[in-house]
Amino acid sequence: MAEERLLENAGKISSSLTKSLLAAALLASCGSSLLYGFNLAVVNSPALYIKSFYNQTFQAKYDYYPDEEQITIMYSITVSIFAIGGMFGALSVGRLVTRFGRKGTLVRTTVLVFIGGALMGLSRTFRLPLMVIGGRFIVGLHSGISLSVVPMFLGEIAPKNLRGFLSLIPSIHICLGVFIAQVLGLHELLGKEEHWPMLLSLIVFPALAQLMLLPWFPESPRYLLIEKGDVHATLTALRLYRNQSNIQLEVEEMQEEQRSLNSIQTISVWRLLTDRCVRWQVLSVVILNIGMQLSGIDAIWFYTNDIFRGAGIQESLIQYTTVGTGAIEVISGILGCLTIERVGRRPLIIGGFLFMGICCAGITVSVLFQAQVPFLRYISVACVVGIIAGFCIGPAGVPFLITAELFKQSHRPAAYTVAGCLNWLSNSTIGFVFPFLEMAAGPYCYLIFCAICLSVALYTIFIIPETKNKTFMEISQMFASKNKMSEDDVNANGHLKLSQMNMNGYGSLGILREK
């Protein structure tokens, strides 16, 4: 009877978007995802000034005259160290959210933004290039933590019918952060040589807003009840985040989940990687997260001005063209957020990667022949815009959602650790390698990105099923034949019969073990 009631209640648990739910989602994303997008693009506009700062500092303080390649290496380290910090941050997510909660982790880690922002803002004053690199590493730590915690927090405070919509709000803020960095980097604003440290340190203001306002919102109801056993705090949180009529059903559903999870332990990363029950799920997460970063989008974000300069755009127009691409990012992110619950996950991933692949090939062709056909320089700019639009519609946010939906609760923390580390490792690799890859291969380097995008799209077409409105067990059974597991094998490894298991929220599974 308990199983039947759990399944019945889960079907009724839905809610409209309340003001407090939307406010919590916006605040969590503003102080986290927005900063990630800002830090991705903010080093693009003042790149020449930062390189000049490194060169002058070495000459004045150390009487050392670095050549162009050494300055390029230092700038590449400045770009990629952000992602290295993110990888280390991703490794600490599981421990932090268990100890401090989802909202508590977001609030406490804002201190990293203040430290990193101060280092970068004062680097020119103290003439220490290592302060820029150290500041980028520290804000990378913050982004590595928050990029996993924010979707976890939003998924747990969201009703099931709004799971996809809320999960893409952070991706909109990433695009918005990129756009803000591009606008503020204009020469008329903070794009002057004396202002670049201030530009890098502006991240402290969104973090301050989050620190002041987010603590007024309650913690995730699921964390409060299932992990802390605080019924009173859970009811308080649900009253703020939900319509009153849904509270009782959701509390009952979470209590059933709490009882069912008493005997389930969270597995390690090694156990996840060696569990043959989920090998295709693990491979899917690996391909999606590596493909997301190796699609060429990071090269576009980090080196947009250089790409436009190589395409023949006049120097005086490059900064405005870059800002235009940022506006396209925001519009595309909003479009993906509004359509995911209608069209599903697969169309956004497949369509996004296919379109990006075509545009990468278009950049190669247009750059090769633009000397003979001047009009092609505008095609190359259009292809850059197309890559950004294709990415923001789907690949920017859907892989984070898919990572949660392909795994049950006991496997999910390890899956997020693997996904986060691969994501950030790929990010740092592109940031460091792309300038040298472009020097060695020229426009042909974009064919590599084209092949990666098309490969991820084809993999999704043939392997990854649609997960919209699917329970974990339905998804597990879809993968059972690919994993060459019989139903008995699946049950023995903790993947239970459909009638005994229910997914009732983003990343929250009610599992009842077979006796």
pLDDT tens readout for residues 336-349:
888 888 888 899 99
Task: Inform me whether the pLDDT recorded for 460 exceeds 90.
Answer: yes
Q: How confident is the model at residue 262 (pLDDT cuts 50, 70, 90)?
A: low
Take residue 508 and report the two structure tokens written for it. 């929250």
Region 162-188: mean pLDDT is: 86
Task: Inform me whether the pLDDT recorded for 158 exceeds 60.
Answer: yes
pLDDT at residue 171, rounded to an integer: 86
pLDDT at residue 101, rounded to an integer: 86
Task: Inform me whether the pLDDT recorded for 23 exceeds 50.
Answer: yes
Q: Whole-angstrom Cα distance, residue 303 to residue 461?
A: 31
Task: Inform me whether the pLDDT recorded for 489 exceeds 60.
Answer: no
| Helix residue spans in 158-203 (DSSP H) | 163-167, 169-184, 196-201
Q: Between these two residues, 356 and 423, which has the higher pLDDT value?
A: 356
Q: How confident is the model at residue 108 (pLDDT cuts 50, 70, 90)?
A: very high
Task: Inform me whether the pLDDT recorded for 512 exceeds 50.
Answer: no
pLDDT at residue 320, rounded to an integer: 81
Take residue 478 and report the two structure tokens written for it. 């879809």
pLDDT at residue 446, rounded to an integer: 87
To the nearest whole number, what is the mean pLDDT of the chain? 80
Q: How confident is the model at residue 286 (pLDDT cuts 50, 70, 90)?
A: very high
Q: How confident is the model at residue 452 (pLDDT cuts 50, 70, 90)?
A: very high
Can you tell me whether residue 236 is helix, strand or coil? helix
Q: Considering only 118-122, 312-316, 351-355, which range has the smallest mean pLDDT?
A: 312-316
Burial class (CB in 10 A: 0-12, 13-18, 19+), 262: exposed
- The half-sphere exposure of 403 on its side-chain side, counting CA atoms within 13 A, is 30
Q: For residue range 189-233, what is the model confidence (pLDDT) as tens digits?
A: 888 888 899 999 999 999 999 999 999 999 988 888 877 778 888
Q: How confident is the model at residue 500 (pLDDT cuts 50, 70, 90)?
A: very low
Task: Inform me whether the pLDDT recorded for 482 exceeds 90.
Answer: no
pLDDT at residue 260, rounded to an integer: 59
Per DSSP, which regions of 380-451 are E strands?
none
Sorted by sequence, the CB contacts under 8 Å of residue 162 that are 6+ apart come out as 15, 17, 21, 341
Please name which of 366, 501, 506 lies closest in space to residue 442, comparing C-alpha atoms: 366
pLDDT at residue 420, rounded to an integer: 84
Can you tell me whether residue 14 is helix, strand or coil? coil
Answer for the pair 453, 357: CB distance below 8 angstroms, yes or no: yes
Task: Inform me whether the pLDDT recorded for 105 exceeds 80.
Answer: yes
Task: Inform me whether the pLDDT recorded for 307 exceeds 70.
Answer: no
pLDDT at residue 14, rounded to an integer: 56
pLDDT at residue 265, rounded to an integer: 60
**229: left (phi > 0), else alpha (psi -120 to 50), else beta?**
left
Q: How confident is the model at residue 266 (pLDDT cuts 50, 70, 90)?
A: low
Exposure pattern of 53-88 as b/e (b: 16+ CB <10 Å)? Answer: bbbebbeeeeeeebeeeebeebbbbbbbbbbbbbbe
The enclosing H or E element of 503 equals strand 501-505
Q: Whole-angstrom Cα distance, residue 110 to residue 114?
A: 7
Q: How many other CB atoms are found less than 10 A from the CB of residue 418?
A: 19
pLDDT at residue 501, rounded to an integer: 36
Region 352-364: mean pLDDT is: 91
Percent of the chain with pLDDT over 90: 23
Q: How confident is the model at residue 44 (pLDDT cuts 50, 70, 90)?
A: confident
Q: Considering only 32-46, 153-167, 296-310, which range has the smallest mean pLDDT?
A: 296-310
Most confident of 55-64, 149-158, 327-336: 327-336
Region 366-394: mean pLDDT is: 83
Task: Inform me whether the pLDDT recorded for 7 exceeds 60.
Answer: no
Task: Inform me whether the pLDDT recorded for 304 exceeds 60.
Answer: yes
Task: Inform me whether the pLDDT recorded for 107 exceeds 90.
Answer: yes
Task: Inform me whether the pLDDT recorded for 248 exceeds 80.
Answer: no
Can you tell me whether residue 465 is helix, strand or coil? coil
Can you tell me whether residue 66 is helix, strand or coil? coil
Region 55-59: mean pLDDT is: 85
Q: Whole-angstrom Cα distance, residue 178 to residue 99?
A: 32
Q: For residue range 431-449, what is the model confidence (pLDDT) as tens digits?
A: 677 777 877 887 788 899 9
Q: Whole-angstrom Cα distance, residue 235 to residue 54?
A: 55
Q: Give pairs for 190-194: CB < 8 Å, separation 24+.
A: 191/45, 191/46, 191/319, 193/46, 193/49, 193/52
- The half-sphere exposure of 31 on its side-chain side, counting CA atoms within 13 A, is 28
Burial class (CB in 10 A: 0-12, 13-18, 19+), 102: buried
Task: Inform me whether the pLDDT recorded for 18 exceeds 90.
Answer: no
Q: CA 69 → CA 72, 78, 436, 441, distances in Å? A: 5, 14, 10, 17
Take residue 9 and report the two structure tokens written for it. 């209640």
